[in-house]
Amino acid sequence: MYLQNVTQYHKELEETIAHEYGIEPTFTNILAWGYTTTAFFVETKAGNHTARLSTYSSAKLASVEKDVITSQALNAVLPTARFVKNKTGAYTSIVKNGILRLSEHIEGVPPFDMTVNILNQCVDLLVILHRRANFLHGDPTPSNFLVSYNKVVAILDFEESKSGPVEWDLSKMAVFFWFRMQDRAPAQVLKAILNRYNSKNIDLTLLMTLCKKHIQNHLDNIRQSMTYYSDKTAWEQDVAFTVARLAEITWLIRCPA
């Protein structure tokens, strides 16, 4: 739908931002898409912004509001998104069947070309979050970090943030960063994360169980989401890749080094 109606889609978005925020966009472009949210770069005379448009549901609205509140609260200790209030003084706008939020734009890209240096920086941000804020990110995947010139400049998207065991965040980071570091075995990525995190209180059994759980959940989501892919071949490749990773982590659990 987006690709079929690009010009009209951007025109409507720009008109909506102008109406809701009193800011006139001069240019918009898609940054990233997910199953329920699409992010856009928004150029304006008042500075550059990022707009996130999510499909409306009461559950999604609650998670979006949690992201905004958490991001704003953590600004003092972490490089998080700084959201902009609309003309009514709220951080979120309900438009048609969507939820719109606008933040100051942070120059950077997700670290899909993963390195140990970037991994270490991301772990350092989790350390601050866990030990100073006593909080879990909930979804510390590469898509929720931004990098500029080999420096991690932002940690984003606190929709799934919560309290709980740190093994949740560490295992999810291990799985999805490993997906971007195919020159390394999963045990190597886990070891790098745990060495950097530097805690003697990690439950390794729980950590490995959660690693498998995250991959299985990811596989289930892919299998249910073929319509989001540009073609069936791309979807089949993602399924095959994830099935292989699940087999690898299952073998590691059964036969630890």
32-72 pLDDT tens trace: 887 789 999 999 988 999 999 999 999 999 999 999 999 99
Domains observed in the chain: 3-104 (3.30.200.20), 116-254 (1.10.510)
pLDDT reported for residue 255: 78
Mind listing the pLDDT tens digit for each residue in 117-176? 999 999 999 999 999 999 999 999 999 999 999 999 999 999 999 999 999 999 999 999
Decide if pLDDT at 2 tops 60.
no
Contacts of 62 (CB under 8 A, 6+ apart): none
| pTM (predicted TM-score) | 0.92
pLDDT at 136: 97
- pLDDT-derived band at 97, boundaries 50, 70, 90: confident
Question: What's the mean pLDDT when you consider all of the chain?
Answer: 93
pLDDT (0 to 100) of residue 6 = 52
pLDDT of 3 reads: 45
